Amino acid sequence: MNRTNHQQLLDEALAGNRESLGRLLEDYRAYLTVLAQRYLDARLRGRLDPADVVQVTFMEAQRDLPAFRGHQIEELLGWLRNILRNNVSSAHQKHLYTQKRSAGRELSNAASESGPALTDLVPSETTSPSQRVMRDEAAVYLANCLQSLPETQREALRLRYVEGQSLKEISATMDKTEMAVAGLLKRGLQALRDQMISDSSSGGHLGRTS
């Protein structure tokens, strides 16, 4: 699904069509899940499922859509990211209240870490509006492509390119040899390339769901 279709769904949702809103949110599920995984403190990842945070975000978005003052798809994405950040912050306050730093500070540090290419899934606040739109659409497309990969490949790619972990760190996290991790990354990246080539040859483009 491309940006034009997303915008049409948003227009219909703002006019009161709940089904269109549901379809639009569903297309952003993978993207927001990746963001939730990145924002959550590492100590929470074994206790709190990022998918649950995203589901709460969707429920709040459906409830609060009348209060949304934007009209463009990029404004909706920014609004959804803010709701997601607030929910992650609440989770930090609930589960990590003994930490000396505030939950907001924990969240800020987690969201601003730099890393390799796939961290474009977290749009930069310093880019121009047109660049932000392109980055958002590419991020949504890429997140959806990731969901089509086997779980081990998807997790290896997430740890490497979203979390910025080294092969050694991924090896320890996944309890696999570094050679096995390297193989997962290689196969995962090749599968992503094949998916993009397939979408391009069939008339698809960034922003289309797989």
Grade residue 194 by pLDDT with cuts at 50, 70 and 90.
confident
Contact 156, 177 (CB under 8 A): no
Is CATH 1.10.10.10 what the domain over 115-210 is classified as, yes or no?
A: yes
Average pLDDT for residues 161-169, to the nearest whole number?
84
The reported pLDDT for the residue numbered 172 is: 93
The reported pLDDT for the residue numbered 40 is: 81
Where, residue-wise, is CATH 1.10.10.10 in the chain?
115-210
pLDDT digits (tens, 9 = 90+) for 118-142: 444 444 545 555 566 566 677 788 8
The architecture (CATH level 2) of 1-112 comes to: Orthogonal Bundle (1.10)
Q: What is the pTM of this model?
A: 0.67
Where, residue-wise, is CATH 1.10.1740.10 in the chain?
1-112
pLDDT digits (tens, 9 = 90+) for 36-93: 888 887 777 667 888 899 999 999 999 999 999 999 998 999 999 999 999 988 888 8
Q: What stretch of H or E contains 5?
A: helix 3-14
